[in-house]
Structure 1
Amino acid sequence: MFVPEKIPFKGRIIDITVPISHSTLIFPGDPEPSIESVCTIEKDGCAVSRLSFGSHMGTHVDAPSHIIKDGLAIDNLNLENLMGQAAVLDFSQINGALKDSTLDKAFNNLGIDESVSILLLKTKSPFEKEKSSKTSCFQAEESDRRSETEEFPENSVYLDSGAADWIVRKGFKTVGIDSFSVDSLSSENLPAHHILLSINVNIVECLDLSSVEAGIYFFLCLPLKIEGCDGAPARALLILDS
Structure 2
Amino acid sequence: MLRDLSRPIETGMPTYPGDPDVTLAPDATHGADGYATSRFRTGTHAGTHVDAPRHTLPEGEAIDERDVGEFAFDARLVDLRPLEQREAIAPEALPDPGAIDDDVDLLLLRTGWASHWGSDRYRDHPYLTAATAERCRAADVGVGLDAFGPDPTPTARGDTESPASDGDEPDGTPAHDVLLGDSLPIVENLCGLDDLPTRFRLYAFPLRLRGGDGSPVRAAAEWDD
Q: Which TM-score band (shorter chain)?
A: 0.7 to 0.9
CA drift of 1:78 comes to 3.0
Q: What percentage of residue pairs aligned between the two structures are identical?
A: 31
After superposition, the Cα gap between the structure-2 partners of 1:165 and 1:105, relative to the gap in structure 1 and judged at 3 Å, is: closer
Greater fraction helix: 1
1:228 to 211, 216, 222: 211
Name stretches of at least 5 consecutive residues in structure 2 with no aligned partner: 155-169
Partner of 2:62: 73
- Contact preservation (8 Å) 2:97, 2:136: no
Amino acid paired to 2:191: D
* Equivalent residue number for residue 145 of structure 1: none
TM-score (normalizing by structure 1): 0.80
Q: Summarize deviations over 1:104-124 as a string: whole Å, max 9, x none.
A: 26995xxx5222111111112
Structure 1 runs (4+) deviating above 3 angstroms are: 105-108
User: Structure 2-normalised TM-score?
Assistant: 0.85
Superposed CA RMSD in Å reads: 2.0
Match of 2:185 among 190, 202, 213: 202
Contact kept, 8 Å, 1:90 with 1:213, in 2: the verdict is no
Matched, 1:39 2:8: no
Structure 1: stretches of 5+ with no match in the other structure: 1-11, 130-137, 141-147
Aligned mates of 1:230, 1:158 — CA distance in 2: 21
Per-residue CA shift, 1:25-58, capped at 9, x if unaligned? Answer: 1111111111111101121111000100111000
d(CA) in 1 for partners of 2:61, 2:109: 24
Aligned residues: 208
In 2, are the aligned partners of 1:15 and 1:236 still within 8 Å (CA)?
yes
Q: Which residue of 1 aligns with 2:83?
A: 94
User: Structure 2 CA distance, aligned partners of 1:106 and 1:193?
Assistant: 19
Whole-angstrom distance in 1 between the partners of 2:221 and 2:45: 21
The separation in 2 between residues aligned to 1:13 and 1:52, in whole angstroms, is 29
Q: Please tell me whether the aligned partners of residues 106 and 185 of structure 2 are also in contact (alpha carbons under 8 angstroms).
A: no
SS in 2 for 1:86: strand
The answer to whether the 8 Å contact 2:97/2:139 transfers is: no
The one-letter amino acid of 1:213's match is L
Instruction: Tell me what 1:169 maps to.
Output: 138
